[in-house]
Amino acid sequence: MSAAEPLVLAIDQGTSATKAILVDRRGDIVAHGSVPLELSTPAPGWVEQSAEEIWAGCARAVAACLDGRDASRVAAIGLSTQRESLLLWDRATGEPLSPLISWLDKRTAGDPALLRAVPRAELVREVSGLPLDPMFSAPKAAWLLDRYDPDRRRSRAGELCLGTVDSWLLFKLGGAHLIEVGNAARTQLLDVRRCAWDRRLTQIFDVPLEVLPQVVPSQGPFPSTRGLAPLADGVPVTAVLGDSHAALFAHAGWTPGTVKATYGTGSSVMAVVPSAARVSSGLCLTVAWQTGGNPTWAVEGNVRSTGATVNWLAGVLGRGPAELAELAADSSEGVVVVPAFGGLGAPWWDENAVGLISGLTLGTRAGHLARAALESIAFQVEDVVAAVERETGPVTRLLADGGPTGNPVLMRLQADTSGRLVERALARDLSALGAAHLAGLTRGVWDRAALERLDRPRESYAPGGDETTRARRLAHWHTAVRRARLQPTSGDSDLPPARAVGVPHRTPEPSTVQGAS
């Protein structure tokens, strides 16, 4: 390393792009690089990405970020990655045998790999902290092995490697087959309390232990860089975090009581909890990170469609997503959009919920629909925050990050809908920043006190309106959610059948998850 002030490089490998940032000792982002990433949808419900393209994208993002910079000043590297997505590769050749099956992929809904776990759903949930859902890695692992190693012979012989994106990048960097514990906690194969693979879960999904990576704490040890020009080989990777976990870390959400919401295609609401006690059925229990030997647990609720709803409606109306906020009327005039495009995630976890628009009249205009689409984001996030509040106690402020938070209409709506102070992070790329913060901490670029003091600029939105109006609006939303979750009765036999059933979840009744509403 040169004598000049050290810099930390962070790579955020996400679903739609790979970003790299360079962070100085004050915590300021001094350079960026970004490379878009393709998704392919070869069959209905299938979503794949190319593992080699992901690796190439990381290299290009790093090169773009370091362009014109002194690469020898990079003292440490942090990785933040999309989670749950999974691929299979050959250990000896390092060649991917499969594409990366995205977390968005629903191919395992109704597949034997997932259905054989249904009778053990309660055990799976208790041990892994996660409800059965095609989003998580375990059913993807079973699906991949059923195709590429049906008798599991090559898996048991140690010839194959299953891995999430962090595993893949670490393998490409240093040849070791590892997974960071927070990412492992999202596979549904980990005992979330012991932070170790669980034999009952691996048996349920028929995934031999030999094909799984070694679970490593969030500060490593990880391999150093190799082949990531213009970096010299040997720069240490000193932090790996799941992207949602990394955003919570960047918000300084290290203690119970701080709740963050990351807005993107979907949204993740997450908060650290004091212990790994059982959580309510609407939320997931996960490992936020493991530093200094101790795991920190968090509860998380994933909303499937937030930014995606805006993109969808903008497309339908022939507008750009940014125009939708300008188009939005001051009121939806009773129109409610329930964006259950692929069922509903937290806190409902209902595969069979259908997307709907309710409250249409002959007076409904595009502006009312635009308003209702934005409101659906605020309502869904609030449903999860209310569930988190039941686990952690009063939540008076909500820390927000992600692209859609740049929309002031949405942020004001969130504050008014939630009745909580919303504080939006002004820094871009919070997931990358969180990985940089932890990597710099591990490497001694800053100590804990200096990390706490780093500037975290925010913009605040105080809640407006009164409690009665808030409760009435939420009740109206929940009525529409109940309609979206309504199943046809046998008397509706002249109607087309409900779409293919995924996994029957035990879902909470609206009345039990509305909480304060």
Task: List the one residue out of 187, 240, 146 whose CA is nearest residue 436.
Answer: 240
- CB-wise, 131 or 242, nearer to ligand G3P? 242
| Residue whose structure tokens are 């939006």 | 424
Angle at 302 between CA 297 and CA 306, to 5 degrees: 145
d(CA 250, CA 219): 15
d(CA 507, CA 154): 38
List the beta bridge partners of residue 17.
Answer: 36
Q: Please state the closest distance from residue 424 (CB atom) to ligand G3P, in A.
A: 17
Handedness of CA 21, 24, 26, 30 (dihedral sign): negative
Q: Please state the closest distance from residue 244 (CB atom) to ligand G3P, in A.
A: 5
What string of DSSP letters covers 448-517?
Answer: HHHHHHS---EEEE---S-HHHHHHHHHHHHHHHHHHHPPPPGGGTTSPPPPPP--------HHHH-TT-
Q: Phi and psi at residue 503, in whole multiples of 5°?
A: -120, 125
Question: Applying CB under 6 A, which residues contact ligand G3P?
Answer: 14-15, 82-84, 103, 242-244, 264-265
- CB-wise, 80 or 507, nearer to ligand G3P? 80
Angle at 401 between CA 396 and CA 405, to 5 degrees: 95
- CB-wise, 74 or 100, nearer to ligand G3P? 100
Q: Please count the other Cβ atoms lying within 10 Å of the Cβ belonging to residue 70.
A: 11
- Are 164 and 188 a contacting pair, CB within 8 Å? no
CB-count burial class (<10 Å; 0-12, 13-18, 19+) for 396: exposed
d(CA 285, CA 299): 5
3-state secondary structure 376-418: HHHHHHHHHHHHHHHHHCCCCEEEEECHHHHCHHHHHHHHHHH
- Are 278 and 128 a contacting pair, CB within 8 Å? no
Q: Please state the closest distance from residue 515 (CB atom) to ligand G3P, in A.
A: 24
- Are 160 and 86 a contacting pair, CB within 8 Å? no
d(CA 74, CA 37): 25
- CB-wise, 74 or 381, nearer to ligand G3P? 381
- CB-wise, 81 or 224, nearer to ligand G3P? 81
d(CA 182, CA 244): 10
Determine the length of the chain: 517
- CB-wise, 188 or 517, nearer to ligand G3P? 188
Q: Please state the closest distance from residue 49 (CB atom) to ligand G3P, in A.
A: 10
- CB-wise, 103 or 168, nearer to ligand G3P? 103
- CB-wise, 89 or 103, nearer to ligand G3P? 103
Q: Please state the closest distance from residue 61 (CB atom) to ligand G3P, in A.
A: 14
SS3 of residue 200 by DSSP? helix
b/e map 307-323, b = 16+ CB within 10 Å: bbbbbbbbeebeeebee
- CB-wise, 86 or 328, nearer to ligand G3P? 86
Amino acid (1-letter code) at residue 2 = S
- CB-wise, 236 or 264, nearer to ligand G3P? 264
Q: Please state the closest distance from residue 398 (CB atom) to ligand G3P, in A.
A: 18
- CB-wise, 105 or 111, nearer to ligand G3P? 105
- CB-wise, 405 or 517, nearer to ligand G3P? 405
- Are 479 and 348 a contacting pair, CB within 8 Å? no
